[in-house]
Amino acid sequence: MGSITGIKLKSEFDLLPFLDKKTVSALIGKTGKNLDKKILGLLKNGDLINLKKGLYLSERYLFSQPDKKAYFEYLANIIYCPSYLSLEYVLSSHGLIPEGIYSLTNVSLKSTRTFENKLGFFIYKNVKEELFSGYKRIQKGNFSIYTATKAKALFDFLYLKRNLSKDYFYELSEGLRINWEEFSVNDVKEFEGFVKLSKSLKMERILKEIRRVKNVN
């Protein structure tokens, strides 16, 4: 990896968790085409990693992080905001589905998008504003991360799931391989709140079958 020359506050450059183009400009003292040329050189040398157009991170900062999983979760909130971690990634993290999920799946108020970069895939699904809730802020080391609760992650997953058969009981009890032992009665009650917000007949039917699977009145 080449050295970063001509950069003001080099230590700050390598300590920032992410950098937008304006920040890079301030730190290296360049603008316009000169800035673009410098950024291209830093990307080529491996000093910078491109997250998406106009958003970068320092490779040194990345390698300095002891908990890269927490760092990637934090970046998921930054790459496309407002957003929070949800769907398969959160379900897998809580042991609700058996599959290991390596893409970071999120819910956003913005249009559905996928970003692929050196770190992996960051997937964002759109929901309407009334359903942009049910998430919490957790602290992992130096990173504040917005992530869905178990109930909201499952709601988002089922609400946005395409090609779900109308045999909801089969899907919930077998087809989707959901580990219901990790979903408490309180989680069911929280899930019900999101169903009411959604005003979705599909989700009302799914809730009925969840109660049946969980044997909850």
Give residue-wise pLDDT tens across range 137-196.
999 999 999 999 999 999 999 999 999 999 999 999 999 999 999 999 999 999 999 999
Half-sphere exposure at residue 137, Cβ-oriented, CA atoms within 13 angstroms: 6
> Considering the entire predicted model, what is its pTM?
0.93
Q: Cβ contacts of residue 215 below 8 Å, gap of 6+?
A: none
pLDDT (mean) for 74-98 = 98
Over range 11-32, report the average pLDDT. Answer: 90
pLDDT of residue 11: 66
* C-alpha–C-alpha distance, residues 174 and 47, integer Å: 48
Q: What is the DSSP letter of 8?
A: T
Q: Which residues of 161-171 are buried (b: 16+ CB within 10 A; e: fewer)?
A: eeebeeebeeb
What confidence category does residue 2 fall into, taking pLDDT thresholds of 50, 70 and 90? very low
Beta carbons of 14 and 60 less than 8 angstroms apart = yes
Give the relative orientation of helices 185-198 and 150-160 as an angle to the nearest 10 degrees: 40
DSSP 85-154: E-HHHHHHHTTSSSS---SEEEEESS--EEEEETTEEEEEEE--GGG---EEEEEETTEEEEEE-HHHHH
Q: Of 1, 110, 17, 5, whose CA–CA distance to 56 is shortest?
A: 17
Backbone angles phi, psi at 20, to 5 degrees: -95, 175
Joined tokens for residue 65: 């992080």
Q: What does the pLDDT read at residue 3?
A: 46
d(CA 203, CA 194): 9
Percent of the chain with pLDDT over 70: 95
Which SS3 state, helix, strand or coil, does residue 73 take?
helix
User: pLDDT grade, residue 10 (50/70/90)?
Assistant: low
**Average pLDDT estimate for 12-28:** 91
